[in-house]
Amino acid sequence: MSSLRDEIKKLREDFTKGTLNDTAVNPDPFQQFELWLSQAVEAKIPEVQAVTLSTVSPEGKPASRIVYIREFENNQFWVYTNYNSRKAKDMLQNPNISLTFFWPDLERQIRIEGTVKKADKEKSDTYFKNRPRESQLGAWASNQSGVLKNREELETAVETIRNKFEGKDVPRPEFWGGFEITATYYEFWQGRKSRLHDRISYSNEKGNWIIKRLAP
Ligand SMILES: Cc1cc2nc3c(=O)[nH]c(=O)nc-3n(C[C@H](O)[C@H](O)[C@H](O)COP(=O)(O)O)c2cc1C
């Protein structure tokens, strides 16, 4: 175990793959996001659509977990989840959230902050309709973030739902759907040598994106 601790302490990667210049970035952060996302797809970053979503409870307690970004358009991002889950309860009471992408092979991090609201029902319906049937059944069967007695309880719930919808389309449960995130802040981070990283932030002031370079 002490060798594990020594090993972790010793890990020290120098980042050398790229640079980021405040005069060369796109003046529109969403376009800069799309550029980096397309480069991450090209680089075959695994689970490129996975992002850390951080929420805050009404009491001010933060919590983070990975979700998938499913759609993105014009400073808006959509994620899908159970409306009774811990994250949904947080977001329904406190709309302030953040998203963090980390793409190690490109030595890049993107931080996004913004506000969130429930997606339109039609959007959630369309997304749900296109999910694989097993995922649709899973959405019905899992009371996400609730406590289970054991694994069997979950599997029995899936079987019950499977029987209920046998031979029929699986409708979207009212308690499952999308959240629409509107970005008001972005930060693009490119790892550089000796911890002297490039950080370029965009904050929205009265409808204009203001670009700043931040100290690493
Ligand atoms: C790669 C990955 C992708 C995930 N995508 C989603 C997702 O799109 N929606 C979701 O509700 N949970 C997703 N999860 C599960 C969440 O991380 C989390 O366990 C779950 O949503 C419950 O979180 P909560 O109790 O904070 O609400 C994903 C987990 C991983 C590791």
Q: What is the pLDDT of residues 114-125, one digit of tens each?
A: 999 999 999 999
Q: What is the pLDDT of residues 86-101, one digit of tens each?
A: 999 999 999 999 999 9
pTM of the model: 0.96
> 76 with 154: CB under 8 angstroms?
no
Q: Is the CB of 102 under 6 A from ligand 1?
A: no
- The model's pLDDT over 9-65, given as tens digits with 9 standing for 90+, comes to 999 889 999 999 988 999 999 999 999 999 999 999 999 999 999 999 999 999 999
Give residue-wise pLDDT tens across range 142-176: 999 999 999 999 999 999 999 999 999 999 999 99
Burial 147-163 (b: 16+ CB within 10 A, else e): eeeeeeeeeebeeebee
Residue nearest to atom 14 of ligand 1 (CA): 67
Half-sphere exposure of 31 (CA within 13 A, CB side): 6
Residue 93 and residue 87: Cα distance in Å, rounded?
Answer: 10
Place of tokens 């799309």: 34
- CA–CA separation, 212 and 31 (whole Å): 17
Instruction: Give me the domains of the chain, ranges plus CATH numbers.
Output: 15-130+174-214 (2.30.110.10)
Would you say the CB of residue 65 lies under 6 angstroms from ligand 1? Answer: yes
